[in-house]
Amino acid sequence: MKAIPQASFEADVSSLRNGTHHSPHSFLGPHPDGDLTIVRAYHPDAIAVEIATKDGVFPARRIHPGGLFEARVPVRDLPGYRLRFTSPAQKWEADDPYRFLPTLGELDLHLITEGRHRELWRRLGARILEHQGVVGVAFAVWAPNASGVHVVSDANFWDDRTLPMRSLGASGVWELFVPNAHPGTKYKFRVTGAGGRQKLKSDPLARFQESSPARASIVEDSHYAWSDVDWLQARATGNPVEKPLSIYELHLGSWRRGDGDRVLGYRDIAEQLVTSCRDMGFTHVELMPVAEHPFTASWGYQVTNYYAPTSRYGTPDDFRWFVDHLHQHGIGVIVDWVPAHFPRDDWALAGFDGTALYEHADPRRGSHPDWGTLIFNYGRNEVRNFLVANARYWMDEFHIDGLRVDAVASMLYLDYSRKAGEWVPNIYGGRENLEAIAFLREFNEIVHADFPGAITIAEESTDWPGVSRPTVSGGLGFTFKWNMGWMHDTLDYMSKDAVFRRYHHNQLSFGLWYAWSENFVLPLSHDEVVHSKGSLVGKMSGDMWQKFANLRALLGWMWAHPGKKLLFAGCEFGQIAEWSHDNPLDWHLLDDDRHAGVQRLVCDIGARYRETAALFERDASPAGFHWLDVGNADQNVISFTRFDAHGYPGIVCIANFSPIVHTSFRVGLPRPGTWREILNTDATPYGGSGQGNLGAVTTEPVPWHGCGDSALMTLPPLATLWLSPE
């Protein structure tokens, strides 16, 4: 190796010291020179460096006062060696990171650049691997506009000068293999922007992250052994739209607490959650976002680390155990996913490499006016890849059964919450965000292709067409869409005093005009019990007895109505207080018969729902539904029939939203014979008045409601009945 020209030498040293060297391996580490190998090492605090090989120890001489050392080792092909450093304060020894080849190949870099690397987390971030016979951590990060990137970690005593990474060309990826890092090593990246400004950043693909206020990423290496193969095989069969789906939504940190108000971990929560969900008949839980977020009061909707389950409740393997445990007990797991926006914390994604990298540079497209957050640049290949791979990551690494995508409406419209002049039209002059639409379609296509039976759910509050229709027919490709219209209409109706409900009867029936335009989930979610909206039972009209009666009637009505179901935690027992993320639910209320009665009702509804095919097989088809009496506004009564996939009328639902008991009330029934009263929300075990039909009614050949047969029955006050033919 020829001597390095002085100008080039000074430039290398200067860029090392400034943190802007793009190719430290070309200057540091081993370099053949005839029959010798020149080894260079850099550490500004070192006063002596030695090269330890199998053939002996070779002292290095200081060749620059800035901390550059060089040794000439009399071996042409120098195999493994270690560096021994001495500083005024300590001595230490380590493998030389600059003797290793890159850990990413050309194909990886090509796929990253094109935005098609479906397993991005297996190449970027921090990976434990054996490389050239040495076990260590491969660090890699995308920062195309950075002038330098360093690993700063436990492995180098948090010295932000000594582990510069190399740039892998046009890909924008920076890489370094650090031999003495290991699982549990905490680290950050020091990113030097084009203007020389340096910031310590957490790893965008960190798989484990310290919780706020600490901000270090943590090297994670999972060897978790799953036990849910039967669940995954069963999930992959059949059409999710034709299966029962009743979702229990909760916030992990406030669902229950341990002794002394101790926040429970993933494993403790899982064991208690299994018992609750099995008792209540829920098929799935939906977790408000579990990706790491520094601001607890955001409830997880301001994510800084998309690949890291929050460490508030344990390790990533603890979360794997959580999912596995629920699967083994027949309960699916859905998580809220937030690709619509991210916070401005300058140690996370925002301005990652000194430029608008993950976010759109134009604030009219990259800044969210409602939440003060940043919007992803969906038109950039690498950013779209970051999000699509993240969706796959949760399903691959954690066996998640579904993703509920937050704030889809804000993604679809360029003028969302913006005034004239505050937004930029698309290339056709329209308000549709074409790049976000393409991203959502790609996300749905890949999830459904790669994870059979997994579901995606859109929280989409507008009348955008085809949200849950296949992408091949122009839809967005979601499995389901939240039915926000049904929720608003129904809750508004239930808030009205019964004497005025006759003027709002259409709010109960209007949803059936569009019920099959999408595959709907009927949500009574956390959004309805926060921000001074009160509790669900508090929304009901009347005195306290009537409020609870109305709540029970609503739940009976909701579970019989076409559409999958979602209920927020606490609503199943009539939580009185508005939900607070800072406090656990008021489980002590179950000592009160009224609250215990609501919970018993939910348990019975859940059991009936899962065993009654008519309540779910044709949720998305008009052939599964028929009105019996939709126009009885004066008596606040409404009724319908649900049919299973074979056309069998499995359930008749009759709701009396009046406080008056209707006796000798005739209802048409689609089959002659005896009909069992399988649910009565006014039953005394639920806290009701006990009015009803002694368990069954028998038809007479009297035509009514378009049916050839009918029966006289008693309709309890503020109650829903389910009848099933024997």
Would you name the residues annotated as active-site residues? 406, 459
Structure tokens at 65: 């006062």
Q: Which residues pair with 250 in a beta bridge?
A: 287
**C-alpha–C-alpha distance, residues 579 and 585, integer Å:** 7
CA angle 219, 17, 95 (to 5 degrees): 45
| Residue 343 and residue 374 in contact, taking contact as beta carbons nearer than 8 Å | yes
CA distance 113 to 116: 8
Q: Write down the number of H helices and E strands in the chain.
A: 15, 33
CA dihedral 558, 561, 562, 568 (to 10 degrees): 0
Using DSSP, state whether 694 is helix, strand or coil.
coil
CA distance 545 to 487: 23
For residue 106, with 0-12 CB atoms within 10 Å meaning exposed, 13-18 middle and 19 or more buried, which class applies? exposed
DSSP H or E run through 549: helix 544-560
User: Which region holds residue 75: left if phi is over 0, alpha if psi is between -120 and 50, else beta?
Assistant: beta
Under 8 Å between Cβ of 661 and 652: no
Query: Would you give the DSSP letter of residue 351?
Result: T
CB of 637 closer than 8 Å to CB of 699: no
Query: Is residue 370 exposed (0-12), middle (13-18) or buried (19+ Cβ within 10 Å)?
Result: exposed
Alpha carbon separation from 515 to 463, 553, 625 (Å, rounded): 12, 21, 10
C-alpha 150: how far from its chain's center? 30
Q: Report whether 662 contacts 701 (CB < 8 A).
A: no
DSSP 435: H
Residue 641 contacts residue 628 (beta carbons within 8 Å): yes
> Structure tokens of 38?
């020149």
Within 13 A of 491's CA, how many CA atoms are on the CB side? 20
One-letter identity of residue 556: G
Instruction: Identify the residue whose tokens are 């839809």.
Output: 475
What is the spatial distance between Cα 628 and Cα 500, in angstroms, rounded to a whole number?
A: 23
Candidates 392, 348, 337; CA nearest to 373 is 348
Give the per-residue SS3 of 199-215.
EEECCCCCCCECCCCCC
Q: What are the two backbone dihedrals, phi and then psi, of residue 654, each rounded to the nearest 5 degrees?
A: -130, 120
- How many residues are given for the chain? 726
